[in-house]
Amino acid sequence: MLKMNKTGWVTLIGMAALAILPPLLLLNGQAFYMDLATRLVILAIAAVSLNLILGFGGLVSFGHAAFIGLGAYAVGIPAYHSMWGGFDLIASSNGLLHLALAVGVSALFALITGAISLRTKGVYFIMITMAFGQMAFFLFQSLEAYNGDDGLTIDLRSELPFLNLDEPMQLYALSYGSLVLVMLLVRMIVNSRFGVVLQGSKGNAERMVTLGYNPYVYRLTAYVISGAICGYAGFLLGNFTTFISPDMMHWTRSGELMFMVILGGVSTMFGPVLGASIFILLEEVLSSFTTYWHLPFGLMLIGVVLFIRGGLMGLFKGKGE
Amino acid sequence: MTKLPLLQVAALRKSFGGVVATDDVHLDVNKGELHAIIGPNGAGKTTLISQLSGALMPDKGSISLDGVDITSAPAYKRARLGITRSFQITSLVMEMSVLDNVALAVQARKGSSFRFIKPARKIAEIRDEAMTYVRKLGLRKRAHEPTSALSHGEHRQMEIAIALASEAELMLLDEPMAGLGPEESRLLTDFLLELKGSRSILLIEHDMDAVFALADRISVLVYGRIIATGTPDEIRANSDVRHAYLGEE
């Protein structure tokens, strides 16, 4: 305990605050803050998943919001059919089915798009992942059956054993617990033998090839894991908002996820969570002053990138860390 | 010499536009041999090594390792078959520690790296073995420092430590002495002398003292062609070589 460094303390305090404050506020009748915190925690899961490939894999994916959308539609589409009939195969309000669909479809989408995207590098990778994200966006925009552009209202939340997602407290508990598990999962992966090869490939792919590793398969695997986790975040988000639209997949949403990761600090465990927290809070505060809140926000991000090495988590890093 | 050479290169050719960088190269490296390639700047030495390691694909010709044709095998497969290379321009994972870099080479031959649970840095079997190579190259004190903090000379030593740790049968060393001071060069030469015989080595080097002290055989590469191959004494006596390369006054 005494050996814990500054970053460790920041992580612990931050996670404790997220565990305690929102439920307390809800108990005091501040449902609004609970809503805010739920959205924050869910987006933090997505940001943590992006960090696996962006921070530890060096892969700047600009299409990550597509996975959120896929995960959300994996809740919305079966719920829609169980309400209005049709598509018997998946028409159901069974949360475990939604969950399996969200994770499965996202992983499959990641496998297919990743297999192609990862053949490119640098700027081309950024562009092609963005193109695939936009493809998903336009696909759902054109699906008239699910109201296309206008979006889909989810009348029934996923039904899970032991949990009632209609209860804000329970939904939050699930989201927060998921965030903790996902953070531990990502930490386990990056420290594993797989993880060091992934990070080695980020630092020097040529060297890794010389040692007998094929960076492509490691990157693709990480991409699929990341996509699947992000799809899970989408499953939670669909249940939270109960309204989903293609807008969730738009490239600007992917950009926001990148903001969160970079602002908080890439290749750190808590960075994406910190980034998501600041993003959500600032969005709330700044947009109450002006509709043009993106401007001060953008300036701030530029400031962080220019002056603080390693994002906000970089502030807490000691020498030699 | 009835034994099959470990590495056999036949009629290798590679051109970039109009420039023929590798021109009908025949070359072999026997088991346990240290075969050096010398030649003036721009003779195509690094291009040749890159084709052997798989970083570049030849236009024509064939490469085989231990009788297995590897001409079109991708670089990572060749590494698994037992070829490793060091780089003329240091190529390391700068953000990782010295020990981490070497450990990656050990890990590569300890079965699949598709393992997600155990922390890689806590696997004693890998770490301890990596440490022996770090120690061997005199980098014990710097083992846990980020690679970026080390000097050029130490980076060169790391390149060798990694090549050793990969336990490849064939080591392609691309100017391992580049940028080293005389003292460091001498230490590395001694080290390679000690290593000689236990590994097969194809060495590219500009330091002639080192080459003539180390090599069993030397090939002279000029404008992409091998103009002579022989023992150090034969090469020293070869008038073509003197004319083309050694700068006979």
ipTM score of complex: 0.89
Domains of chain B: which residue ranges? 1-82+170-249, 94-167
Q: Which residues contact A163 (CB under 8 A, 6 or more apart)?
A: A95, A170, A174
pLDDT confidence bin for A311, thresholds 50/70/90: confident
Torsion angle of the four alpha carbons B47, B52, B58, B61, in this order, in degrees rounded to the nearest 10? 120
pLDDT confidence bin for B247, thresholds 50/70/90: low
Say whether pLDDT at A305 is over 90: no
Nearest to A212 among B79, B119, B120 (CB): B79
Residue with tokens 């997949």: A249
In tens, the pLDDT along B113-148 reads 999 999 999 999 999 999 999 999 899 999 999 999
Nearest to A210 among B85, B96, B100 (CB): B85
B118/A211 touch (CB, cutoff 8 Å), yes or no: no
In tens, the pLDDT along B74-120 reads 999 999 999 999 998 889 999 999 999 999 999 999 999 999 999 99
Percentage of chain B modeled with pLDDT above 70:
97
| Mean pLDDT computed over every residue of chain B | 92
Give yes or no for B91 touching A (CB within 8 A). yes
Single pTM value for the model: 0.93
In tens, the pLDDT along B156-213 reads 999 999 999 999 999 999 999 988 888 889 989 999 998 888 999 999 998 888 999 9
Say whether pLDDT at B248 is over 60: no
Nearest residue in B to A221, CA atom: B114
Residues of chain A found within 8 Å of residue B144, distances taken between Cβ atoms: none
Say whether pLDDT at B249 is over 50: no
Say whether pLDDT at A320 is over 50: no
| Mean pLDDT computed over every residue of chain A | 93
Sign of torsion over alpha carbons A210, A212, A214, A218: negative
Decide the pairing of beta strands B34-38 and A243-244: unpaired
| A45, A249, A274, A293 from A278: Cα distances, Å | 14, 21, 6, 14
In tens, the pLDDT along A118-147 reads 999 999 999 999 999 999 999 999 998 899
Tokens encoding A215: 């960076």
The per-residue pLDDT for B245 is 67
The per-residue pLDDT for A2 is 55
Q: Please give the residue that has the higher pLDDT: either A4 or A197.
A: A197
A191/B105 touch (CB, cutoff 8 Å), yes or no: no
Rg (CA), chain A: 19
Nearest to A207 among B92, B117, B119 (CB): B92
Nearest residue in A to B127, CA atom: A193
- Does residue B156 come out as left (phi exceeding 0), alpha (psi in the -120 to 50 range) or beta? alpha
Tokens encoding A197: 């090869």
Q: What number is the average pLDDT over the span B25-50?
A: 93
Give yes or no for B90 touching A (CB within 8 A). no
| A7, A15, A274, B142 from A47: Cα distances, Å | 18, 15, 10, 35
DSSP string over A16-56: HHHHHHHHHHHHTT-HHHHHHHHHHHHHHHHHHHHHHHHTT
The per-residue pLDDT for A191 is 97
B96/A214 touch (CB, cutoff 8 Å), yes or no: no
Say whether pLDDT at A252 is over 50: yes
B84/A192 touch (CB, cutoff 8 Å), yes or no: no
Sign of torsion over alpha carbons A74, A75, A80, A83: positive
Mark B14-23 as b/e (b = at least 16 C-beta within 10 Å): beeeeebbbb
Q: What number is the average pLDDT over the span B239-247?
A: 74
A197/B104 touch (CB, cutoff 8 Å), yes or no: yes
Q: What number is the average pLDDT over the span A269-283?
A: 94
B113/A210 touch (CB, cutoff 8 Å), yes or no: no
Is CATH 3.40.50.300 the classification given to domain B1-82+170-249? yes
pLDDT confidence bin for A318, thresholds 50/70/90: low
In tens, the pLDDT along A71-126 reads 999 999 999 998 888 888 888 889 999 999 999 999 999 999 999 999 999 999 99
Residues of chain A found within 8 Å of residue B105, distances taken between Cβ atoms: 211
Contacts with A, B 43-82, CB within 8 Å: 53-55, 74-77, 79-80
DSSP string over A2-20: TT--HHHHHHHHHHHHHHH
Q: What number is the average pLDDT over the span A257-269?
A: 92
Q: What number is the average pLDDT over the span A275-282?
A: 93
The per-residue pLDDT for B239 is 84
